[in-house]
Amino acid sequence: MGIAYFAKRLLEEKGQSLAGKRCLVTGSNATALALAEKLVELGAIPVTFSDSSGFIYEPTGFDAAKVKTVQKIKAERGARVGRYIIASTAAKFNEPASMWTIPCDLVFTCSTDQVHNNNE
């Protein structure tokens, strides 16, 4: 996923690393999920996904297995990210507007509509 490599390169130019960076990911479409997979691969820590129903926040971050769980949920017709909380005892499901209060290092907007609406 190009945007992950772009972020990695920008950080390297500043003498930093993508590894360990907490990342908000808006959306939960194919782009958002592929980005999250690449962020995990590069050592970053995605902590959110969203859709029009709200957002899920995984305080310790999504690892590869957790991203796969979200992918499976979203593959079901009409499924919303909120269903993820059944699979995680630590995850929280929240209203869209409060996503921006979560401490993070980077934000990746992958929504297909206006970001502040947290659509797919």
Helix residue spans in 21-94 (DSSP H): 30-41, 64-75
Q: What local confidence, expressed as pLDDT, does residue 49 receive? A: 96
Q: What local confidence, expressed as pLDDT, does residue 78 receive? A: 81
CA 86 to CA 34: how far, in whole Å? 22
pLDDT tens, residue by residue, 37-87:
999 999 999 999 999 889 999 999 999 999 999 999 999 988 899 999 999
Q: What local confidence, expressed as pLDDT, does residue 115 receive? A: 42
Q: What local confidence, expressed as pLDDT, does residue 33 receive? A: 97
Question: Which positions ≥6 away from 35 have C-beta within 8 Å?
Answer: 1, 3, 4, 25, 46, 108, 110
Give the mean pLDDT of the chain: 90
User: What structural domains and CATH numbers belong to the chain?
Assistant: 2-112 (3.40.50.720)
